[in-house]
Amino acid sequence: MQLVERHLIRHQDARFAVIDRAAFASKNLYNQANYQIRQAFIHEGTYLPYAAIFHRLKHHEAYCALPRKSAMPSSFNFTTIGAAFLRVMEAYREDPSAITGRPKIPGYQDKTKGRFLLIYEKKALGKRVFKRTGKLVPSGLPIEIATQITWEAIAQVRIVPRADGYMLEVVYEQEIQPAAVTSQLRVAVDVGVNVLAAITSDKPGFVPRLVSGKPLKSLNQCYVRSVQPKLAG
């Protein structure tokens, strides 16, 4: 299975500025790829696969502004967004009642404020530097990422824009370790409101438990009465 080690890069972090420039360039590439996809869909009723997008953009300034090892995975991500839209659109045509409204074609990122995801596959993370320092250095991005993950387990690095900065995600593989369980034993959980959960089991010596839901219920009522009206304006 794949897990994620996360690092939050806030505005005051020395790495923020260079990441922000790369995310801005990724936004430009996204908008250009989206333009190509939209034009083909609107005027021709066709979907552009990854290969077609790549050949249309490989010499474009938006593509060249990113390191090749980052631009290619990002371009592939754009096509998956377009493919997802077409699948939903096909489902809508077959049964409009199954979806709350007509699906909208993916829009553009804001020209100045927009930022987009950055993806660095394992081959773009600097194996030699990692073996020497234990830090990841994405291709074309002069930053270092300290990580506890071994090189063999690392799959990719994603940099995700957030309102308070960027979430840097080191994606890695980990084998599933089966839990030591006895298949003959059973547990039952009854979920409620005042009693959040009633738990019992046929395991010898197991003590049934009641988990109170009143604190959570009170917190929810407080939110509904005081916070939600303010958010609604």
Q: Are 47 and 154 members of one domain?
A: yes
The pTM of this model reads: 0.73
Q: How many CA atoms lie within 13 A of 45 on its CB side?
A: 1
Residue 83 belongs to some domain of the structure: yes
36 and 140 share one domain: yes
Which of 105, 106, 124 shows the shortest CA–CA distance to 22?
Answer: 124
Q: Same domain, yes or no, for 71 and 152?
A: yes
User: What is the spatial distance between Cα 32 and Cα 78, in angstroms, rounded to a whole number?
Assistant: 10
Whether residue 46 lies inside any domain: the answer is: yes
Angle at 18 between CA 15 and CA 20, to 5 degrees: 100
Q: Which domain holds residue 220?
A: 187-232
Q: For residue 181, is it within any domain?
A: no
Domain check: are 166 and 205 in the same one? Answer: no
- 180 within a domain of the structure (yes/no): no
Verify that 105 and 210 share a domain, yes or no: no
Are residues 197 and 90 part of one domain?
A: no
Residue 182: inside a domain, yes or no? no
**Considering the domain boundaries, does residue 85 fall inside one?**
yes
Asked which of 173, 196, 211 is the last residue of a domain, the reply is: 173
Return the closest-CA partner of residue 9 out of 164, 136, 128, 139. 164
Q: Classify residue 24: in a domain, yes or no.
A: yes
Residues 107 and 142 placed together within one structural domain of the fold: yes
Contacts of 78 (CB under 8 A, 6+ apart): 29, 30, 33, 34, 37, 53
Total length of the chain: 233
Choose among 106, 165, 170, 119: nearest CA to 144: 170
Q: Which phi and psi (to 5°) does residue 116 adopt?
A: -135, 160
CA geometry: angle 93, 39, 106, nearest 5 deg: 60
Same domain, 149 and 193: no
Q: What string of pLDDT tens digits covers the 233 residues of the chain?
A: 999 999 999 999 999 999 999 999 999 998 998 898 888 888 887 777 888 888 888 888 888 888 877 877 777 777 777 778 878 888 888 888 888 888 888 889 999 999 999 999 999 999 999 999 999 999 989 999 999 999 999 999 999 999 999 999 999 999 988 888 777 889 999 998 888 899 999 989 999 999 998 888 888 888 777 766 665 65
The first and second tokens of residue 88, run together, are 């939903």
**Statement to judge: residues 94 and 132 lie in one domain:** yes
DSSP 110: P
Please indicate, yes or no, whether residues 56 and 152 belong to a single structural domain of this protein: yes
- Measured CA to CA, the distance from residue 174 to residue 117 in angstroms comes to 24
**Token digits of residue 146:** 């300290």
Quick one: 23 and 86 in the same domain? yes
> Are 8 and 34 within one domain?
yes
SS3 91: helix
List the one residue out of 129, 37, 42, 110 whose CA is nearest residue 79: 37
Residue 218 inside a domain? The answer is yes
Split into its structural domains, the chain has a count of 2
